[in-house]
Amino acid sequence: MNSVYVVGIGPGGGEQMTGEARKALESCDIIIGYTVYIDLIRGQYPDKTFLTTPMTQEAERCRMAFEEAEQGRDVSLVCSGDAGVYGMAGLMYEIKGAYPHVNIKVVPGITAATGGAAVLGAPLMHDFAVISLSDLLTPWEKIEARLRAAAMADFVICLYNPSSRKRKDHLKRACEILLEYKRDDTVCGTVRNIGRDGEARQVMTLAELKDTEADMFTTVYIGNEQTKQIDGSMVTPRGYRNV
Amino acid sequence: MNSVYVVGIGPGGGEQMTGEARKALESCDIIIGYTVYIDLIRGQYPDKTFLTTPMTQEAERCRMAFEEAEQGRDVSLVCSGDAGVYGMAGLMYEIKGAYPHVNIKVVPGITAATGGAAVLGAPLMHDFAVISLSDLLTPWEKIEARLRAAAMADFVICLYNPSSRKRKDHLKRACEILLEYKRDDTVCGTVRNIGRDGEARQVMTLAELKDTEADMFTTVYIGNEQTKQIDGSMVTPRGYRNV
């Protein structure tokens, strides 16, 4: 039976790719993905055939992968970060029914949450919640309820998609909600372009984060009650008792 | 200035290690870690010096790394999974003050949450919360509050340390709390020995999970309202609208 590898290439598609991901890409004739992600790896695989679709064509991209595999080709579908975290792995399973002769093999990658955490220091050392601020596929009320729950229970919070051209104020709105539960000086951080050229981090307070502009290449971290700034890094202690 | 690399070797220390992690280990004279994790990689690096400490000696392990680096040696401190998720990265920053001439560089790895998700299918496709059930460093009341918050706000939930010899009933207690908010037939999954020999997955309902015995090598997933079983895999749709 033919397989499609659904491969997370890590945040930048470079050294943060796993050995398993590299092996999958090397074994394939065809690599399929969103244009921007393909551009991250194209130069590393000059002998492969690359097929790209634009941002909104996710289902089309999945069908393309299944159809190539049905015809006997070895195919990888790539996602930045991890294919199973706001990536394409779920949609592949949802569409799979129409292609009974093709298997799916998900190859995990470093997702932005942990890739960016390593840049900031160690913000995710304890229980954490990952929330996307994109309301393209999720009603804002559901996002807001999750922000409130995560703040109330003192999770460290990691925000994906903090902003976009169409929803410039989402991060500000999220911070206003979090500030109902958390101190003004809660330690926060942002990382832009994780694992890519121009990687940059900032550590700040929640009050400052509220007035920070983030773009779609930024991942945002809000500390728990114990998170501190050490030497410019953002660090959450592992436990609530002394070590 | 000397550096200590704090390296996540992924769940099994094999093909799920990143290129960056391999480069760090190869560049070092000395590799330090908990005995069990060192055993995962020792055979791959026959020329290195390995220093190990037992499970409860985390602070001692960190000091060992700093002291070797202070003496001019290139040192990696390894953790399974990601060093920044219930790993050693935070403690390294907390101890760093005593070693002003040593830098810390965290190298991210595939954490159990995403590594296990790839084995199950695509359970983490939407907002999720990661919670450790170990009450060694965290009061159980705090863990319980987080379980309640995550269930109420319909996060997918990933549980680390679901059980140990001393707290055999933690997973059962957690499931009982979750069942106050979630349907009996909520789709759940477990993965044992992620990325290691004997890797095994199970997909089941929350009612079944309540009566499942998990050990310390198991990672547990509880779906959100939309999570389904497709062809034996655990899949959470990406959004709440049709794609």
Q: Give the residue on B whose Cα is nearest the Cα of A149.
A: B149
| A167: confidence class by pLDDT, cuts 50, 70, 90 | confident
The CATH number of residue B131's host domain is 3.30.950.10
| CB neighbour list of residue A183: distance below 8 Å, 6 or more residues apart | A206, A225
Look at residue A156 and tell me whether its pLDDT is greater than 90. yes
> Is the domain of B49 the same as that of B70?
yes
What is the mean predicted confidence (pLDDT) over B180-207? Answer: 97
Pair B10, B87: CB distance under 8 Å: no
Is B243 a domain residue? Answer: no
Give A78→chain B minimum CA distance, Å: 14
How is residue A41 written in tokens? 């790896």
- Kindly state whether residue A242 falls inside one of the protein's structural domains: no
Q: Are residues A189 and A230 both part of a single domain? A: yes
Residues B126 and B69 in one domain: no
| Same domain (yes/no): B94, B138 | no
In-domain check, residue B16? yes
ipTM of the modeled complex:
0.96
**pLDDT bucket at A240, cuts 50 / 70 / 90:** low
Within this chain, do residues A56 and A171 fall inside the same structural domain, yes or no? no
Grade residue A1 by pLDDT with cuts at 50, 70 and 90. Answer: confident
Q: Where are the alpha helices (DSSP H) in A71-169?
A: 89-95, 112-120, 140-152
A10: chain B residues, CB-CB within 8 Å = 18
User: Which of B84, B86, B154 lies nearest to residue A117, judging by beta carbons?
Assistant: B84
A221, with CB counted inside 10 A (0-12, 13-18, 19+), is buried
Count up the domains in chain A and report the number.
Answer: 2
Residues B37 and B118 in one domain: no
Percent of chain B with pLDDT over 70: 98
For A72-117, write each residue's pLDDT tens digit. 999 999 999 999 999 999 999 999 999 999 999 999 999 999 999 9
The pLDDT of residue B166 is above 90: no
Residue B89 counted as domain residue: yes
* Rounded CA separation B103/B96 (Å): 8
Same domain? For A218 and A116 the reply is yes
Residues B229 and B134 in one domain: yes
pLDDT tens track for A220-237: 999 999 999 999 999 999
Residue B230 lies in a domain: yes
**A130 and B127 in contact (C-beta within 8 Å)?**
yes
Residue A240 lies in a domain: no
Query: What pLDDT is stored for residue A8 in this prediction?
Result: 98
Sign of the alpha-carbon dihedral angle for A108, A19, A101, A36: positive
Contacts of residue A108 in chain B, CB cutoff 8 Å?
A: 16, 110, 114-115, 117-118
Domain boundary among B62, B86, B107: B107
Chain B residues with CB inside 8 Å of A136's CB? 239
- Count of positions (residues) in chain A: 243
- With respect to residue B240, please indicate whether it lies within any of the assigned structural domains: no
Query: Nearest CA to CA, how far is A212 from chain B (Å)?
Result: 23
Q: Which amino acid is at A184?
A: D
Looking at the predicted structure, is the pLDDT value of residue A242 above 70? Answer: no
The whole domain housing B220 covers: 112-235
Report if residue B31 sits inside a domain: yes
Q: What is the pLDDT of residue B137?
A: 87
pLDDT at A152 over 90: yes
Residue B152 has a CB neighbour count (10 Å cut-off) of 17
Is the pLDDT at B65 greater than 70, yes or no? Answer: yes
Residue B55: pLDDT band by 50, 70, 90 thresholds? confident
In a shared domain, residues A43 and A85? yes
The CA distance from A190 to the nearest CA of chain B, in Å, is: 16
Is the pLDDT at B242 greater than 80, yes or no? Answer: no
Res. B156: pLDDT tops 80: yes
Decide if B125 and A82 are in contact by the 8 Å CB cutoff: no
pLDDT of amino acid B56: 77
Instruction: Specify whether the CB–CB gap between B219 and B190 falls below 8 A.
Output: yes
Reported as a pLDDT band with limits 50, 70 and 90, residue A163 is confident
Q: Judge if B103 and B130 occupy the same domain.
A: no
- Residue A118, pLDDT > 90, answer yes
For residue A47, give every residue at least 6 positions away whose Cβ sits within 8 Å of its Cβ, in sequence order, or none: none
A175 touches chain B (CB under 8 A): no
Chain A residues whose CB is inside 8 A of the B125 CB are: 84-87, 89-90
Q: What is the pLDDT of residue A111?
A: 98
Query: Confidence class of residue B229 from pLDDT cuts 50, 70 and 90?
Result: very high
Q: B135 with B46, same domain?
A: no
Using a CB-CB distance cutoff of 8 angstroms, which residues of chain B are in contact with residue A238?
Answer: 86, 90-91, 137
pLDDT tens-digit readout, B11-33: 998 999 999 999 999 999 999 99
B105-124 residue pLDDT tens: 999 999 999 999 999 999 99
| pLDDT above 50: residue B243 | no
> A229 CB near a chain B CB, below 8 Å?
no
Pick B108's closest partner by Cβ from A94, A110, A127.
A110
Of A107, A141, A170, the domain-final residue: A107
Whether residue A122 sits in one domain with residue A85:
no
DSSP A55: T
Q: Is the pLDDT of residue A243 over 50?
A: no
Best residue in A80, A146, A147 for a mutation probing chain B (most B CBs within 10 Å): A146
| Mean pLDDT in residue range A118-123 | 98
CATH code for the domain of B89: 3.40.1010.10
Does B240 have pLDDT greater than 70?
A: no
Those of residues 142-171 in B touching chain A at CB distance below 8 A are 142-143, 145-146, 148-150, 152-155
Q: What are phi and psi of B179, to 5 degrees?
A: -70, -15
Whether A46 shows a pLDDT value over 80: the answer reads yes
- Per residue in A170-205, pLDDT tens? 999 999 999 999 999 999 999 999 999 999 999 999
Q: Which of B107, B138, B163 is the last residue of a domain?
A: B107
CA-nearest of A241, A112, A243, A82 to A189 is A112
Residues 42-81 of B with CB under 8 A from A: 58-59
